Homo-oligomer: A and B are copies of this chain.
Amino acid sequence: MKKAGILGGGQLGRMLLQTAINYPVETFVLENDPDCPSAHLCHHFILGDIQDFETVYAFGKELNVLTIEIESVNVEALEKLEAEGVKVIPSPAALRIIQNKITQKKFYTQHQIPTAPFLVTEKKADLEQHTDFLPAVHKLASGGYDGKGVQIIENRDQLSLGFEGAAVLEKMIPVELEISVIVAVDTKGAIVTYPPAAMVFDPQLNLLDYQIAPAPITSTLAQQADAIARQVAMAFQSPGLFAVELLADQSGKVWVNETAPRVHNSGHHSIEGNMCSQFDMLWRILLEYPLGSTEALCTTVLVNILGSEGAAGAVLYKGLENVLATPNAYLHLYGKQLTKPGRKMGHITYCGNNVQDLIEKAELGKKQLKVVAK
């Protein structure tokens, strides 16, 4: 039985472990929180820092295959492990490019992959020279996560909002729609893509409101998104699962926003909505089995369950019974013991055929379920 390690023990690791149950694999998780969502669901839980060279190296050296559920891991240790014969998926080389938004953006340019024009800034004061580039988005090169480390700068009065560290300043694109395409690449280079998912944002809060998959878009746009996502994944020359986040502008042109070389929030609907889920697919890649089918089984609308504003502490879910009384609502909680405002605590996938009906159910579900602190 192969020994497989996951760096990180959050909800992505948790759902990976939920699928690992079906496969012949001995699972190892490295994470520095003993109460993390994955801790009790693996064969071996190792408490430790995924950013520490020695810790990651020691964790990986007896394993057959290693993967990640978060990008902020020690890539030098992964490079050494790979050199010593441990299979690392995604490849440390791909991970190194992606970890830093400057190298990631340069990579797209170098591979003629459409992405918003950008500049590199080393410190906040550099922004002064680029006022004619505004409006733009300032993104910290590393350390950003879930919207942190990203700042819109509309005009010169907002320059002070910029970051002090190394960052990219990306030209603002008139975004019509955000799309995600998940690409799976196996160790032999076989490649499949999931139908695109569309992200719908709350215009007030700029938070993901819900996600529709397959995206209700023209086949031309879907094909363009699929082709660019494949181009991105192939350019990385690495096996793995790649969530390619795309922006479609008002003219229908598609740009790459960023790529995550791992299972991704924008693929959670695949658990119920596709023949082979993104989690199942990654195990097939890790264990060197044939890729699964990405065929959609139904239309899905997915909402994240987020910690309520103003509530921090031991979590309490109010109104779960309402969600569970909806026959086509699939609940997934992440087992986090503490809630805080905006924290991802779970998701609900609504499955069916009528997208408008699903959206209404999802909107209702968001009202029915409250995540509060005890």
**Which residues of chain A (267-314) have a CB below 8 Å from chain B?**
275-276, 284, 289-290, 292-293, 295, 297
CB distance from A239 to the nearest CB of B (A): 16
Report yes or no: A14 in contact with B24, Cβ–Cβ below 8 A: no
A335 within 8 A of B: yes
A327 within 8 A of B: yes
Chain B residues with Cβ below 8 Å from A42 are: 40
Chain B residues with Cβ below 8 Å from A332 are: 21-22
Contact A327 to B41, CB < 8 A, known contacts A18-B21, A22-B333, A24-B320 = no
A364 within 8 A of B: no
Report yes or no: B325 in contact with A290, Cβ–Cβ below 8 A: yes
Q: Kindly report which residue of chain B lies nearest to residue A15, judged by CB atoms.
A: B21
Chain B residues with Cβ below 8 Å from A23 are: 331, 333
Chain B residues with Cβ below 8 Å from A157 are: none
Chain B residues with Cβ below 8 Å from A317 are: 24
A208 within 8 A of B: no
Report yes or no: B21 in contact with A41, Cβ–Cβ below 8 A: yes
| Partner among B22, B295, B335 whose Cβ is within 8 Å of the Cβ of A331 | B22
A123 within 8 A of B: no
CB distance from A241 to the nearest CB of B (A): 16
| Partner among B284, B330, B331 whose Cβ is within 8 Å of the Cβ of A324 | B284
**Which residues of chain A (13-43) have a CB below 8 Å from chain B?**
14-15, 18, 21-24, 27, 40-43
Chain B residues with Cβ below 8 Å from A276 are: 327
Within the assembled complex, what's the spacing in Å between the Cα atoms of A320 and B287?
11
CB distance from A358 to the nearest CB of B (A): 14
Q: Mark A325-348, 1 if CB is under 8 A from B, else 0.
A: 101101111010000000000000
A321 within 8 A of B: yes
Chain B residues with Cβ below 8 Å from A295 are: 327
CB distance from A371 to the nearest CB of B (A): 11
Within the assembled complex, what's the spacing in Å between the Cα atoms of A180 and B178?
47
Q: Kindly report which residue of chain B lies nearest to residue A332, judged by CB atoms.
A: B22
Interface SS of chain A: helix, strand, loop or mixed?
Answer: loop
Within the assembled complex, what's the spacing in Å between the Cα atoms of A204 and B276?
35
Chain B residues with Cβ below 8 Å from A292 are: 324, 327
Within the assembled complex, what's the spacing in Å between the Cα atoms of A284 and B18?
18
Chain B residues with Cβ below 8 Å from A331 are: 22-23
Contact A293 to B40, CB < 8 A, known contacts A22-B333, A24-B333 = no
Within the assembled complex, what's the spacing in Å between the Cα atoms of A41 and B333?
16
Q: Kindly report which residue of chain B lies nearest to residue A328, judged by CB atoms.
A: B275
Within the assembled complex, what's the spacing in Å between the Cα atoms of A290 and B327?
10
| Partner among B14, B21, B293 whose Cβ is within 8 Å of the Cβ of A335 | B21
Chain B residues with Cβ below 8 Å from A15 are: 21
Report yes or no: B293 in contact with A328, Cβ–Cβ below 8 A: yes
- Between A and B, 22 residue pairs with Cβ closer than 8 Å are A15-B21, A18-B18, A18-B21, A21-B41, A22-B333, A24-B317, A24-B320, A24-B333, A24-B335, A40-B41, A40-B42, A41-B41, A275-B327, A275-B328, A276-B327, A284-B324, A289-B324, A290-B325, A292-B324, A293-B327, A293-B328, A297-B297
In the A-B complex, the 5 residue pairs with the smallest Cβ-Cβ separation, listed nearest first, are A293-B327, A290-B325, A289-B324, A40-B43, A18-B21
